[in-house]
Amino acid sequence: MAKVARGRGTRSNASGRFEPERVEDFDDGWTEDDAGAAPLRTTLMPERARTIIARNQSPDVGFDRSINPYKGCEHGCVYCYARPSHAFMGLSPGLDFESRLFWKPEAARLLERELSAPRYVCKRLHIGGNTDPYQPVERELKSTRAILEVLQKFRHPFSIITKSVLIARDADILGEMARARLASAFVSITTLDRALARAMEPRASTPEKRLEAISRLASAGVPVGVGFAPVIPGLNDHELEAVLQAAARAGATSAMYVTLRLPLEIKDLFREWLADARPDRAARVMSLIRQTRGGRDYDPDWSQRMRGTGPVADLIGARFRAATKRYGLIAPRHDLDVGQFRVPPEFRPQGDLFDAA
């Protein structure tokens, strides 16, 4: 086992599945102090993207278009379902994913161009469907902030999800848009245990700060929900009711959950982390996970991959439904108004100037 990189989630940096040669960590007995190794630092690389709106046709995802200001995520959540996407860039879903990040310098301009296209049809945009739009680098880059400003200018409805208190920085935009039925938000809270959060999500906001984010958004008039995701049987599932109760007290009005998914490289990364961080319960946790996936580490079937199947998954679902009812987290879905969408005059083709009656 390689020495744990301070402030990082995964324990290794094995090559992605598309690489012809496989590189893995090897323990030769030397420590970082012996070798004089520098700490693992985050690097940021610009991505020269041609588009900013991503589309999907997954029947179990509640949106068909999304925006991800960043690729990779410095939060370092060991369970992150987005990790395998780093393999498409020849990088590791392990430490590379949380330390070698990409961002789109032209994100706002690209969005203005796509929303101004004559054939564009307005539907809800989801921000953060892959990686977190409010990870630490957003403090300086303000890429997510620039995207929100464009959506506000075009009166375009959107939803957003994060596990960072940094979202409260943009409460001015989110609040104004929400009051016009153009925005909603979710904050993900996986545990109230600071030690577990630190081990599992090393650079994300603390549980207390995420509750603060819910409170500040609710005070700004934003309909905000809590995401208890992922539910990891044997590790954090016992906190389900406590997390939902705390979120409701902070101002959340709805809730969702997703059972842990371990596709592709994530299963090995999670097993490795679990054996190191929680060796006393590693075998039981993996057994319970397999009980929700038909005896396997993961079942990709769209009809059940978000919830799982079997008695363990059924019990989680029953507890969730009872808790949401008990704590009043049953607000109807916040329907966003696509009818307010407009292309500002400065982005319209010149011919539109003659369309006014």
What value does the mean pLDDT take over residues 223-236?
97
- End-to-end, the C-alpha distance of the chain in Å comes to 72
Torsions phi, psi of 256, nearest 5? -145, 165
Least confident of 3-7, 198-202, 245-249: 3-7
What value does the mean pLDDT take over residues 347-354?
61
pLDDT digits 0-9 by tens, 33-61:
544 445 789 999 999 889 999 998 777 67
Whole-number pLDDT of residue 95: 95
Q: What is the mean pLDDT of the chain?
A: 90
Least confident of 16-30, 54-68, 134-148, 261-275: 16-30
Q: Report the C-alpha gap between 158 and 189 in whole angstroms.
A: 21
Percentage with pLDDT > 70 across the chain: 89
Whole-number pLDDT of residue 28: 45
Whole-number pLDDT of residue 311: 97
What value does the mean pLDDT take over residues 342-351?
82
Residue 125: pLDDT over 50: yes
Torsions phi, psi of 150, nearest 5? -65, -45
Q: Report the C-alpha gap between 32 and 326 in whole angstroms.
A: 50
Q: What sign results for the dihedral spanned by CA atoms 267, 268, 269, 273? A: positive
C-alpha distances in Å from residue 300, one per residue of 60, 182, 258, 310: 11, 33, 14, 15
Whole-number pLDDT of residue 35: 45
Residue 224: pLDDT over 70: yes
Torsions phi, psi of 183, nearest 5? -155, 145
pLDDT digits 0-9 by tens, 264-302:
999 999 999 999 999 999 999 999 999 999 999 998 888
C-alpha distances in Å from residue 132, one per residue of 25, 81, 149, 186, 204: 27, 12, 18, 12, 10
pLDDT digits 0-9 by tens, 105-116:
999 999 999 999
DSSP string, 169-233: GGHHHHHHHHHTT-EEEEEE---S-HHHHHHHSTTSPPHHHHHHHHHHHHHTT--EEEEEEEE-T
pLDDT digits 0-9 by tens, 181-223:
999 999 999 999 999 999 999 999 999 999 999 999 999 999 9
pTM of structure: 0.90
Which of 88-102, 176-190, 339-353 has the highest mean predicted lDDT (pLDDT)?
Answer: 176-190
CB distance 65 to 53 below 8 Å = yes
